[in-house]
Chains A and B, each alone.
Chain A
Amino acid sequence: MTELIIEVQNLKKYFEQIINDQNIQTKAVNNISFNVNKGEIFGLLGPNGAGKTTTIKLLLGLLEPNDGNIRVFGLNPEREDIKIKEEIGYVAEEPLIFRSLTPKDLFNFISSIRKLDPLKTEKKVKEYLESLDAIQYYEQIIDTLSHGNKQKIQIISAIIHNPKLLIFDEPLAGLDAKSVKVLKEILDLHKENGGAVLFSTHIMKIAEELCDRIGIINKGKIVGIGTIEELRKQSNKIGASLEDVFLRLTEQDKSVMEIIKKLRASFNNK
């Protein structure tokens, strides 16, 4: 039997907003369920504002759900978030690290917080910095680096403690081709060593290449879940690319066709 790392059941998260003087409840996550198994890369795919980041924040215990169950390593993130965070490496969409520090100071800080062995950490940091071509930025202030280089530092800071679960929210934004390749390799090695990955992205090609299973989320709901083949069956698009499957399942295929038609007409009239 496969070991469950993440278990989400009927999860709901609502936000309240006052729009045009009316109190309106936005359903950011609306009754979603999915699992992530040990040794698996699970992709959470969805358009902007679909509820991916909210789901991740709920898993980390940064937000409290309105309803539903979450278990990470069998623990409840609301009550046992510290134990969960000890085993997690989290990479946020926008670099969520201390921007005023140099990578050197940042890794020292993380090492102290996570109580890591300094010698082992030094070795690992050096290896990762070299493999991601970021060694030259070791003593530069993080905020002065490019988005891609900031992302590299954030990725290293999320993996230096050998976490069992990696939660990556759009980790490839701004990374160069070489770094993407290296990161894919890191994720594969992590998986081979029994780790699990929850990978949120909207880049179809990456999801297709990397993920063992994919959950497609739209307007806070899971509209399709499974391997690529299973998703193709669910969308009645046998042999189609993940992009077409995604557009079909999120019901965007017709509107995309209309937009393309309009654009062509507009260009021809120029």
Chain B
Amino acid sequence: MKNKLTEYYSMAKFISREVFYEAQMKQAGSRQAKFLEKCEKNKKYIGRMVLILKIVSSFMIILLPLIYLISVPSVLDLLKPSGNIEITAITYGIVFSIFIISYMTYLILFGLYTIGAFMSGDSFNWLRTLPISKKKLRKYAFMTLFRSIDLQLISLCVALPILIMILTQNVVLMLMSFLISIPNAILCLCVLIFLGEKISRVIFSKENTSKKSSRTKILVFGLIISVSIGMNLILQFIFYGIEGFVSFFTLSPDTHVWNLILSLIPYPFGPIYFITLFISPTNVPPLLILTSTIGFLLFLGITYVIGKKALKSIKSVIGTEKERKSRKSSQELKLEEINIKIKESTTTIAYIKKDLTTAARDPQSAMLLIMPIMITIIMILSFSSGLTEVSDLNIQLLSFLMISLVMISTINPIMLVSGLMNMEESGSTITSALPILPRDQAKAKLILMILIHKQFLLLFQR
């Protein structure tokens, strides 16, 4: 049995590598040639990328929330033992619930592409033609899924216990948090599988190439990238405001009622309240023990139900083409009469049109144009968050303007130039065969860059 498991695990290495590769190729979009070039130069490139991504995402899951504890000392003050179990319970309940949610978000952000590629089922197309029984194929699928995010899942299981051990130095609490981390990791994985399934239909679908689906792809891409970049900002805002939020509950005369209500919410409060029962078991009111236990059992129940559904989704990934088609929404085709019209324009305009059309069709190219603006906004907000400490409104406004102008005039153009240059790599073989003057090419790029940059400045002025 053990040998068989090892065999499945070692064979899953090849499949998970293919899954990762599929995900990377999709992410590369129109810059696939560059990615392939790196693979050609270094045959260990994919293997290294897999390892680096695993290590980085595992560190992010464990370390990033800890950084906020250090950078926002008020959170540490909040978690100091108060002597009142009701206050301790509500404080722990809120603070650790934020951590649990942040762990889940990081797992989703780092694993979404890989799991999306896995859920598309494309990596199993060839395996289906080999003499592998459905039962075996299912085992390979489970092992592949695990191998794709094994380190991240292990990090998810140990992140909360490490955090609790650092903050409370209570071994019992640490052990309890480890026990609840296992179902929590399962729940996070299931959520990731569902989201991966959804994203595979949008991003990994080879069938739907309509304008509508291109727009959806761009929207989803934008959303993922904004959340990935903005996650730190969101956590920063949450932690800066947490003191006031917790005070609302702790200073309320009905803290015990709030505790009873929150502990009944299965996720994220259910498991956290269950741990807090072990801070001082003899002092916890019996009603809170009851509601916390109910909340925890509900959390386990939800994990079980969602887990079963996720299993079904995984099984459909390796099913026959018919089974896989049934989970895809039926594709609707509109047959229209095709009118062929050729419009004449200058080389520069033709180039600008080419870039804009590429951006409208290819999410990665669109991101190259949208990202400079998004990143600049995020950077402005991130740097400005510290200005709340400044009491003088005029200085606050002046500092905000200074930060914004520096960001707009530095980050935006750098990213735009790099983005527009990167766009040039797609279809380079076609353009290199055409009689184009490099000056016209550069002119088109400059006009597009000025247009985007100007639009952003106008937007900012408003």
Contacts and interface: CB of A to CB of B under 8 A. Distances in A.
Given A63-B320, A98-B17, A143-B21, 18 more contacts: A17-B331, A20-B333, A20-B335, A21-B332, A82-B133, A85-B130, A96-B125, A98-B18, A99-B18, A99-B21, A100-B18, A113-B11, A113-B132, A140-B43, A141-B40, A141-B43, A141-B46, A143-B36
Which 8 pairs across A and B sit closest by C-beta, in order of nearness?
A100-B21, A85-B131, A144-B40, A86-B131, A18-B332, A98-B18, A96-B126, A19-B333
A90 B128 CA distance: 11
B114 to A, nearest CB: 13
Contact of A102 (B43, B131, B335): B43
Interface string B9-34: 00100110110111000000000000
Interface string B29-71: 0000000100110010010000000000000000000000000
Contacts of A110: 130
Interface in B314-372: 320-322, 330-335
B129 interface: yes
A144 B39 contact: yes
Contacts of B128: 62
A101 B13 CA distance: 11
A208 interface: no
Interface string A92-125: 1000111111100100011011100000000000
Interface in B93-148: 123, 125-126, 128-133
Contacts of B332: 18-19, 21
A62 B129 contact: yes
A185 interface: no
A63 B324 CA distance: 11
A64 B132 CA distance: 18
A110 to B, nearest CB: 8
Contacts of B18: 98-101
A171 B39 CA distance: 26
A64 B322 contact: yes
Contact of A60 (B11, B17, B129): B129
A113 B131 CA distance: 8
A205 interface: no
B364 to A, nearest CB: 18
Given A101-B14, A109-B11, A82 B43 contact: no
B11 A112 contact: yes
B36 A82 contact: no
A16 interface: yes
A62 B320 contact: yes
A147 interface: no
Interface string A131-165: 00000000111011000000000000000000000
8 contacts: A20-B335, A62-B321, A63-B320, A99-B21, A100-B17, A100-B21, A113-B131, A141-B39
Interface string A64-104: 10000000000000000011011000101000111111100
Contact of B131 (A20, A82, A140): A82
By DSSP majority rule, is chain B's interface helix, strand, loop, or mixed?
A: helix
Interface residues of B, number: 31
Interface residues on A, range: 35 or more
Contacts of A98: 14-15, 17-18, 123, 126
B129 A90 contact: yes
Contacts of B330: 16-18
Contacts of B129: 60, 62, 85, 90, 92, 96
Nearest to B24: A100
A185 to B, nearest CB: 25
Contacts of A64: 320, 322
Contacts of A181: none
A20 B334 contact: yes
A83 B131 CA distance: 7
Contacts of A262: none
A96 B128 CA distance: 10
A57 interface: yes
Nearest to A154: B126
A144 B322 CA distance: 32
B131 A100 contact: no
A20 to B, nearest CB: 6
Contacts of B39: 141, 143-144
Nearest to B129: A90
B321 A57 contact: yes
A143 B32 CA distance: 11
A84 to B, nearest CB: 8
User: Which of B128, B130, B331, B335: most chain A CB closer than 10 A?
Assistant: B130
Contact of B130 (A83, A92, A114): A114
A114 B43 contact: no
Interface string A8-21: 00000000111111
A134 to B, nearest CB: 16
B131 A144 contact: no
A46 B385 CA distance: 66
A87 B146 CA distance: 31
B74 to A, nearest CB: 47
Contacts of A139: 43
B14 A18 contact: no
Nearest to B47: A100
A34 B320 CA distance: 24
Nearest to A145: B40
Contacts of A86: 131
B28 to A, nearest CB: 12
Nearest to A102: B43
Contacts of A143: 21, 36, 39
Contacts of A105: 14
